[in-house]
Structure 1
Amino acid sequence: MEESRSFFRAKTLSFLAMVVVFLLVNALSATYVGFDFIDAAAEVPAGVAWMAAEFLPTVESLSKLDSILPALASTVLVSVASSCIAAVFAFALAVLGSRTVGVGKVAAFLARAVASVFRNIPVVAWALILLFSFKQSEFTGFLALFLTTFGYLTRCFLETIDEMSTGPIEALQAAGATYFQIFAQAVLPMTIASAISWVLYMVETNVRDATLVGILTGTGIGFVFDIYYKSFRYDVAGLAILAVVVVVIACEMTSNFVRRRII
């Protein structure tokens, strides 16, 4: 009994110590950058009121839907294309670099290194880097989304393949199956549901990221938003934001429905 009390006492003290450290770090950070939480909190109601008044779409702004909807469709298509194409390359690299069915330690190291590099560079940074080579175009936005998605999915697929049961693989190896037969009969059937789930998640994420990328690359709904925002047509900019929100929610609902069907 005494040991149990000591254990929970130590856990409680550790938790309190982490909370104190967290608060101290936040206080020091706020002091360093000159951030005043009380003043910021006091400005929130005024900021919310301004956004509600300025960004609320009007009847007049609905006339701009003919320019918003095509740009929104372009953004969604780029997001889907970059996610699906990146998934194919990421899955191939993950299989080759897997510790379970990979082709060696060197391939495993390279696959994880590539995934870390591509995944840890933000999509905005990729867009800025690629702008110097490919200028403002749909292809620049596609590449930025593709590279980030490729790194993220490679990491996810590596973990999925490494965590699967090795029983079917060992049985096929014992029966003399080739590498491609093992992939087709064991690896693919056991990982396809999880892989599709990750791809659907990335489609949702890329629709949101593509809006920001579009501002930089001058394409899609992000470019339309930027034009109206800089023209002080906040009502139309708010309509563009609302359209993006509706599409993201629709993508999430579709993704959840598909996940329930396949998992």
Structure 2
Amino acid sequence: MNEKRLIQRKWQMSLFFITIIGITYLSAVITNFNLLHGVGTIPEAIGWIFSNLYITQESLERLPDILTKLIETISMSIAATTTAAVVSVFLGLMGSKTTSINGYLSVLARFIASLSRNIPVVAWALILLLSFGQNSVTGYLALFVATVGFLTRAFIESIDEASQSSVEALTATGATYFHIVNKAVIPQCLPQMISWVLFMIETNIRSATLVGLLTGTGIGFIFDLYYKTMDYNTVALITFSIVIAVIIIELISNHIRKVVL
């Protein structure tokens, strides 16, 4: 019996890999992708990077403007994440089975989370661009809507995984809904919630750069500006600044996680 199951699993794995290979080959044919040609161009691409993307004294003179735009991008990302976290806490409480008031609110909260999460932040930026134009408000709203969907889903799962014993104990004593949430649910989920918020701040800083290309704001705007004028030395400085900023934010987030968790 075990041997039969083993043979069946081998066939299933073989069929799975054959299917993946078939899909990959079909995708390459449709997109006219040539793997050998792609691999062959890697040395040339690396050579172009080292010969064009380097920082010069002239590009360093633009560092103050770059840092100003970078701070603007980071501030927008933090503002969008923190305000979205407040909204997501309420939606998470509505959507969780543990703290849901009624089924309709739960379905509504989960629908909002699913809708805003499954539409990419770039798509949200394009949609909002038609209504609000190219400004920082559009970038903020795009990050806010996408973050609400992700954090709501994460908060729902965190609340559902919380221990039910303290909730049941407070319920048995006749505690109100708000007492149960404040005394039993939030204290258990708060470390995980903070961790998710920190993760989204890191993610939104990266996303804000791309959103800035569309909304004409922040570090993404000047990256696009200097890239289109073929000032690759300044582009290298901007890229380096973004990488350093993301690394610093990640180190700070990791330290806060260690303290909180």
TM-score for the superposition, normalised by structure 2: 0.97
1:113-124 matches, within 5 Å, as 113-124=111-122
Residues 65-80 of structure 1 aligned to structure 2 (within 5 Å): 65-80=63-78
Q: Supply the distance in 1 between the matched residues of 2:86 and 2:233 (Cα, whole angstroms).
A: 40
Corresponding position of 1:13:
11
Query: What is the aligned partner in structure 2 of residue 99 from structure 1?
Result: 97
State the secondary structure of the residue aligned to 2:71: helix
Q: How does 1:155-166 map to 2 (within 5 A)?
A: 155-166=153-164
Match of residue 177 from structure 1: 175
Secondary structure (helix, strand or coil) at the match of 2:41 reads helix
Name the counterpart of 1:132: 130
What is the CA-CA distance between 1:24 and the residue it aligns to?
0.7
Instruction: Map 1:92-241 onto structure 2 (within 5 A).
Output: 92-241=90-239
CA distance in 2, matches of 1:103, 1:48: 57
| In 1, Cα distance between equivalents of 2:122 and 2:230 | 24
3-state SS in 2 of match to 1:60: helix
SS of corresponding position for 1:99: coil
Aligned pairs (5 A) from 1:28-47: 28-47=26-45
Deviation at 1:165, TM superposition (A): 1.2
Once the two structures are superposed, the pairs formed by residues 52-63 of structure 1 within 5 Å of their partners are 52-63=50-61
Q: Residue in 1 aligned with 2:23?
A: 25
- In structure 2, the partner of 1:250 is 248
Q: Distance in 2 between matches of 1:6 and 1:239?
A: 61
Counterparts of residues 78-93 of structure 1 (less than 5 Å): 78-93=76-91
Does structure 2 conserve the Cα–Cα contact (< 8 Å) formed by 1:86 and 1:150? yes
Equivalents in 2 of 1:208, 1:167: separation in Å? Answer: 40
Q: How many residue pairs are counted as aligned between the two chains?
A: 261
Q: How far, CA to CA, are the matches of 2:248 and 2:11 in structure 1?
A: 45
State, as a whole percentage, how many aligned pairs show the same letter.
43
1: distance between equivalents of 2:241 and 2:5? 53
Letter matched to residue 257 of structure 1: H
Post-superposition Cα deviations, 1:186-231, rounded to whole Å, max 9, x if no partner, equal 0110100000000000000000000000111111000011111111
Query: Quick check: 71-80 or 27-36, which moved more?
Result: 27-36
By how many angstroms is 1:4 displaced?
Answer: 3.9
Contact 1:97-1:104 within 8 A present in 2 as well: no
Residues 64-113 of structure 1: CA distance to partner in whole angstroms, max 9, x if unpaired? 10110000000000000100000000011110221111111111111111
Question: Do the aligned residues in 2 keep the contact of 1:55 with 1:235 (CA within 8 Å)?
Answer: yes
- Alpha-carbon deviation of 1:6? 3.7
In 2, distance between residues paired with 1:41 and 1:111? 46
| Partner Cα separation in structure 2 for residue 159 and residue 57 of structure 1 | 45
Give the Å deviation of 1:250.
Answer: 1.1
Q: Distance in 2 between matches of 1:78 and 1:256?
A: 21
Structure 2: 5+ residue runs without aligned partners? none
Deviations 1:135-173 (A, max 9, x none): 111111000000000011011111111111111000000
Letter in 1 for 2:122: V
Post-superposition shift, 1:9? 3.5
Q: Tell me the CA shift for residue 17 of structure 1.
A: 1.9
| 1:14 shift after superposition | 2.2
Aligned equivalents of 2:114, 2:187: Cα separation in 1: 26
Q: Which amino acid is the alignment partner of residue 28 of structure 1? A: L
Distance in 1 of aligned mates of 2:248 and 2:2: 49
RMSD: 1.1
Deviation at 1:15, TM superposition (A): 2.1
